[in-house]
Amino acid sequence: MAELPGGTKLTWLGHATFIVETGGKRILIDPWVMGNPACPDELKDPGPIDAMLITHGHFDHISDAVELAGSTGAQVVAIAETCAWLGSKGVDNVIDMNIGGTVEVAGCRAHMTAAVHSCGITDGDRIVYGGSAAGYVLELEDGFKLYHSGDTAVFSDMALIGKLLEPDIALLPIGDHYTMGPRSAAEAVRLLGVRTVVPMHFGTFPVLVGTPDDLRKEASDVAGLEVADLAPGASLGG
């Protein structure tokens, strides 16, 4: 199991939402807390946040972005079109970027990666184009790299992410239906070359049927693989 660097803590808030605490900063990935049925009550207010990384504009990844940007002053990283939409809602502390790029945020480096998924933003009775769905490799101060794939199917360019960005740990959806399920996620593990996986985007709704045990079975050929068993609210490291 890849150990998180000393002083770094990764907390799962349920679904695809995580807090990374590192170097005295707090980074929220995919802000969905208030309406997130998997998020423990005591974490629905995630506290002070220095930065938010948004993978895509679906409600279960962005719902609380506008409110939390206002209440915390956090810098918000997202793809250009999603940033433009956030700007239209009054969020001005944004870093707009695009796939393949790297930005400095909260003392870390965020590399934006591709995802095979959609990215419409529900805004009232309309769906606004939010750009492409994405993921991030978050490179901490000491070089440790954490990959949050966002919602995605498996894709062969995950091998490039493995080769170029060399993530130490991967947060991967396994629920199926809206993303890859356990069999595809096992192939993602092989393509990425990671040995520590935190499953996400499962169990929140009845259709998200994949389980960490399913992933363990599908990836039983991967020597040394650790599939973390976090309950929402639980942490690695810290």
Nearest residue (CB) to Ni ion, 16 versus 219: 16
Partners of 126 in beta bridges: 123
Q: How far is the CB of 204 from Ni ion (least distance, A)?
A: 12
15 binds Ni ion (CB under 5 A): no
60 binds Mn ion (CB under 5 A): yes
Q: Name the packing angle between helices 182-192 and 158-165 (round to 10°).
A: 40
151 binds Mn ion (CB under 5 A): yes
Q: How far is the CB of 8 from Mn ion (least distance, A)?
A: 25
Nearest residue (CB) to Ni ion, 86 versus 219: 86
176 binds Mn ion (CB under 5 A): no
151 binds Ni ion (CB under 5 A): yes
- Cβ atoms of 12 and 18 closer than 8 Å: yes
Nearest residue (CB) to Ni ion, 108 versus 174: 174
58 binds Ni ion (CB under 5 A): yes
The letter for the amino acid at 211 is: T
156-160, Cβ contacts within 8 angstroms, sequence gap of 24 or more: 156/191, 157/114, 158/188, 158/191, 158/192, 159/191, 159/192
Nearest residue (CB) to Ni ion, 22 versus 132: 132
Strands of 24-115 (E only): list them: 25-29, 51-53, 75-79, 94-97, 102-105, 108-114
Residues 6+ apart with CB under 8 A from 82: 54, 56, 57, 62, 119, 121, 130, 131
Binding mask 66-85 for Mn ion (x = CB under 5 A): --------------------
Nearest residue (CB) to Ni ion, 50 versus 151: 151
Q: How far is the CB of 151 from Ni ion (least distance, A)?
A: 4
Q: Give the residue from 144, 110, 150, 185 showing the smallest Cα distance to 18.
A: 150
Residues between 68 and 97 with contacts to Ni ion, criterion CB under 5 A = none
Q: How far is the CB of 16 from Mn ion (least distance, A)?
A: 6
Q: How far is the CB of 117 from Mn ion (least distance, A)?
A: 8
Partners of 77 in beta bridges: 53, 95
Nearest residue (CB) to Mn ion, 191 versus 200: 200
Residues 6+ apart with CB under 8 A from 183: 218
The residues binding Mn ion (CB under 5 A) are 58, 60, 151
The residues binding Ni ion (CB under 5 A) are 58, 151
